[in-house]
Amino acid sequence: MYLPAQFNETRTDVMRALMRTHPLSTLVIQSDSGLVADHVPVQTLDEPRPLGCIWKIDDAPAPYIDKMLSLIVGFEFSIAALRGKWKVSQNRPQADRAGVIGNLRNAGDADSHEIAEMLAALDPEPEAPRVR
């Protein structure tokens, strides 16, 4: 798959930090009915810990638990390569990027604020006005 240079992320520490903060990946498989995508929780081996959740298994009815237990499939895999991509308006004019950063800073949640500061740190010097 083509990856434009401005979206490429090669810093392994940045990618691992993102996976620790937001431990979900997207698994895409080919089935008889077409492509199927699903979110999969991930855990890096450098920081083993239980994945957080907002509910407990005991919250579900016993028949449901019994049925689901028989359907669980676990797998473990090793990653041979890690390829990251930032899609955060790098290809847009500086004014657009500044607008995205400003809107995220004005949002009411910590995740938006964190992303705004990450984007601000990535943002190059403001563009010079274009002369026509």
pTM of the model: 0.43
The pLDDT, as a whole number, for residue 106 is: 93
Q: In the prediction, which pLDDT does 126 show?
A: 52
Please give the pLDDT value at position 49. Answer: 53
Dist. CA 14–CA 22, nearest whole Å: 12
Quote the strand ranges of 13-126, DSSP E.
24-31, 34-41, 84-85
pLDDT at 128 over 50: no
Band (pLDDT 50/70/90 cuts) for residue 47 is low
Q: Is the pLDDT of residue 12 over 80?
A: yes
What's residue 38's pLDDT?
85
The helix (run of H) or strand (run of E) holding residue 35 is: strand 34-41
**Domain range list for the chain:** 1-87, 88-132
Which one is predicted more confidently, 37 or 122? Answer: 37
Q: Answer whether residue 115 shows pLDDT above 70.
A: yes
Mean pLDDT of the chain: 78
Q: Which of 52, 1, 43, 35 shows the shortest CA–CA distance to 19?
A: 43
